[in-house]
Amino acid sequence: MPAKQDPAARAAELRDEIARHDQAYYVQQKPTISDRAYDELYRELRELEAAHPELATPDSPTRRVGNELPEGSKFPTVAHRRPMLSLDNTYSEEEVRHFEQETVRKRLAKAGVAEAPEFAVELKIDGTAVSLWYERGLFVKGLTRGDGVRGEDITANLRTIREIPLRLRAKGEPPAFVELRGEVYLPRSEFARINAQREEQGLETFVNPRNAAAGTLKQKNPKAVAERRLGVFVHTPGSFEGVAFERYHLFLETVRAWGLPVNPHRRVCKDAGEILAFIAEYDMPRRTYDYDTDGIVIKVDQLALHETLGTTAKSPRYAIAYKYKPEEAETTVLDIEAHVGKTGVLTPRARFEPVFVAGTTVTYASLHNQDEIDRKDIRIGDRVTIEKAGEIIPQVVRVLVEKRRGDPPKYRLPEACPVCGTATVRREDEVALRCPNARCPGRFRERIVYFAGRGCMDIEALGEKMVDKLIAAGLLKDLPDIYRLERAKLLELERTGEKSIDNLLANIEASKRNDLARLLAGLNMPHVGTRNAELLAEHFETLDALRKAGVEELEAVEGVGPVMAQALVDYFADPDERARVDGLVAAGLNTKSLTAKVRKQAAASGGAFAGKVFVLTGDLGKYSREEASKLIKDRGGKTASSVSAKTDYVLAGEKAGSKLKKAEQLGVKVIDLEAFEKLLAE
């Protein structure tokens, strides 16, 4: 900060500059400065407000994440200024034409309206509805839809969404009051990341992005909400004071100018023919976007005609939703199995008669929890329809009750662990059942399989069948026992040859030389998957330094939030986990990062890869994904699983898929293997 500049003026300048960069990054997806430069602006503002507390304003970016709700408290409810109605759904071309001709044109003609209606059409986001209130440009309240008359006040959680500006970027005097209605969603890439992380941790996975978004907004800790990286699209005007609009599409353009996101895939159509052409045009492309869509919203574009057309008790007559039909298949539930994860969570899984749907043969699908089974009334022997959520994850859509034979019993998750027999428990804040026995063989087995897996210690010969043999023989009782296995004892195992035993022992010995990141991934620490393990290893460089780190020091690591930081401190304080780690250290495992110094030096070198973010897609020929990622990271670069405005390069091999399309949409530079190798040679 310049020495003579007034602190208040500088604070206002910083808030405005950060808001402009937020809009460029989150709304326009065209970042204008580097992450480091942005962080420096944010840090300067935070330090300035700390030195001058009177300068902190409600719209300051430092105030986005608030405090957790007190235990036992609930979100207060607030009356909507206007009811939040739901849209009627339509599923066929005939119903779209009926809406245009009968519901709109004939009704307007009867009312003596000569103006020909036009129709604004846009993608329907499969998320959760919210209402955003701005008073004189300042974001003051955010509500859920609730029952349409009253919604829950989730302002603190909505403030954490970076796409929602805390102050409108209005030209001139902002409106006295505006209510903007929209849809909060969890991006598909985030859904995949979170579910992969939860699966690694043995936690219950989310059913779909929509449920995950709705559940996230009901979290009582805004810090946990911020870690989920929700998105939002504004799509409907609510109440207004001091501003008016003639057309819906002009409302959307104004909202975007104010700094809020609106869906870019929209059009004004003159009749049903143009509407149906838009519906057909987006049926396939919508599947490649980073958010779920389940249809198209059709609205009369002239807002004055909305009053003429009116509403029913539940839905407006001036708008309707066309729902795309997902690809479904019918099959039989052969069995429902309760799987015990490494943290004790019992996850029910349906086994089907194999059926082909959306490009692959489906045999299994997670049923998630008992509540999901009860809601859909899924029973063994039922005929069911299945689809792939987001064209990826198999799920049961509905039970064909009319085809049910007899009255098969309802399925209940077992009251005792199917592996160790311990009575299952349900935590107060969860729907999942757990085996609470920390020494449950089922949990223990999963921890060993996970520890030895390719993404962790990569002990290839220690697969599931070998793990089962060793447990049955009493040779494996904890993770350190892997490194205490003796050849003579192994030779006593039935149907196990000398060659396989030698391979196993060689693999185990080789794993001792693995990078620290692999060990951290294999320890099954809360919230730590392979990616976070790598970040922790490279930041702290040694296991000893990580074990001694406090919450604040952990939160300084990229990707580590307060929840993970506290969980790590608790993990290393747990006597059992501490003894387990000590046993592995005593066995001679490497406890240092083998890449940290090289990669830190490369990142600071200013080379072709330094600080650059790569996304890999398609067949990379002579490079595996792991090999290509290592080449990038060893030269100071980073890799990401999904394409965003932060991406510098998309490395596209043969048969590149949706990531390539996303890169083209965002204007991200795409390179092939030849260009990649030229960068490597620089």
| Tens of pLDDT, residues 584-606 | 999 999 999 988 888 888 888 77
Q: Which residues pair with 656 in a beta bridge?
A: none
Q: Which residues 6+ apart lie within 8 Å of 682 measured at CB?
A: 607, 608
Contacts of 23 (CB under 8 A, 6+ apart): 165, 169, 259
Looking at residue 508, its pLDDT comes to 95
422 Cβ contact partners less than 8 Å away, ≥ 6 residues apart: 416, 435, 436, 437, 440
What stretches of 204-284 show up as alpha helix (H) in DSSP?
209-217, 222-226, 248-257, 272-282
Taking 80 as the threshold, does the pLDDT of residue 314 lie above it?
no
124 in catalytic set: yes
Query: Helix (H, G, I), strand (E, B), or coil: what is residue 117?
Result: coil
Please name the residue that has the structure tokens 């219950």.
204
Q: What confidence score (pLDDT) does residue 638 get? A: 87
Average pLDDT over residues 402-426: 92
User: Which one-letter DSSP state was computed for residue 610?
Assistant: T
Alpha-carbon distance 622 to 628, whole Å?
A: 9
Residue-wise burial string across 589-618, b where 16 or more C-beta atoms lie within 10 A, e elsewhere: bbbbbbbbeebeebbeeeeebebbbbbbbb
Tokens of 244: 């008016």
Q: How confident is the model at residue 494 (pLDDT cuts 50, 70, 90)?
A: confident
- Enumerate residues 6+ apart whose C-beta is below 8 A from 460: 454, 503, 507
Q: Which of 30, 74, 110, 124 is catalytic?
A: 124
Q: For the purposes of burial, counting CB atoms within 10 Å of the CB of 671, is it exposed (0-12), middle (13-18) or buried (19 or more)?
A: middle
pLDDT digits (tens, 9 = 90+) for 365-392: 889 888 889 999 999 999 999 887 655 6
Say how far apart CA 438 and CA 343 lie, in whole Å. 8
Which residues neighbour 13 within 8 Å (Cβ) at sequence distance 6 or greater?
A: none
| Mean pLDDT (whole number) for 294-303 | 94
* Residue 260, token pair as written in the block: 């809020």
pTM > 0.85: yes or no: no
Higher pLDDT, 357 or 276: 276
Mean pLDDT value of segment 35-62: 77
pLDDT tops 50 at residue 252: yes
Domains of the chain: 7-63 (1.10.287.610), 89-323 (3.30.470.30), 329-426 (2.40.50.140), 441-511 (1.10.150.20), 516-586 (1.10.150.20), 596-681 (3.40.50.10190)
Name the band, by pLDDT with cuts 50, 70 and 90, for residue 2: very low
pLDDT bin (cut points 50, 70, 90) of residue 622 is confident
pLDDT of residue 1: 43
What's the confidence (pLDDT) of residue 109? 93
**Better pLDDT: 42 or 201:** 42
